[in-house]
Amino acid sequence: IFARILRGEIPNDTVAENDHALAFRDITPRAPTHVLVIPKGKYVSFDDFATNAPPDEITGFMRLCADVARQEGVSLEGGNGFRAIANAGPDGMQEVPHFHLHILGGRRLGALVADG
């Protein structure tokens, strides 16, 4: 599904973009800011990306995450902070098998994980 977003086949609410990554709003936001950042390359998970992506793609992806936090007013430059989450595999309850980082903020987010 995120590959189709990258190809422009499915509309998305784009927040920011660079050569290596795209950031768009989650369709089911769990916080006032809930943005997904995805690399333009094909990686299934955080560990696939971290292991196999070339350094310029990793840098481009990470820089876009920082740009999003700043743009959304949740970075520590003037904002109240945020959480960056990458779910991986069944125990991580990853739903979409295309690596993405959730950037959540705009409210106090509570405990790191729910029990059970």
Residues tagged active-site:
100
Site for ligand AMP contains 44 (CB under 6 A): no
Structure-token pair, residue 2: 């995120």
CB 64, min distance to ligand AMP, A: 16
Which position has the token pair 């991580």? 92
Structure-token pair, residue 21: 């990554």
Site for ligand AMP contains 48 (CB under 6 A): no
Q: 86-116 in b/e burial notation, b at 16+ Cβ within 10 A?
A: bbbeeeeebeeebbbbbbbbbeeeeeeeeee
- Please give the residues from 76 up to 105 whose contact with ligand AMP meets the rule CB under 6 A: 87, 93-96
Site for ligand AMP contains 6 (CB under 6 A): no
CB 33, min distance to ligand AMP, A: 13
Site for ligand AMP contains 28 (CB under 6 A): yes
In the complex, the residues that contact ligand AMP under the rule CB under 6 A are 1, 10, 12, 26-28, 36, 87, 93-96
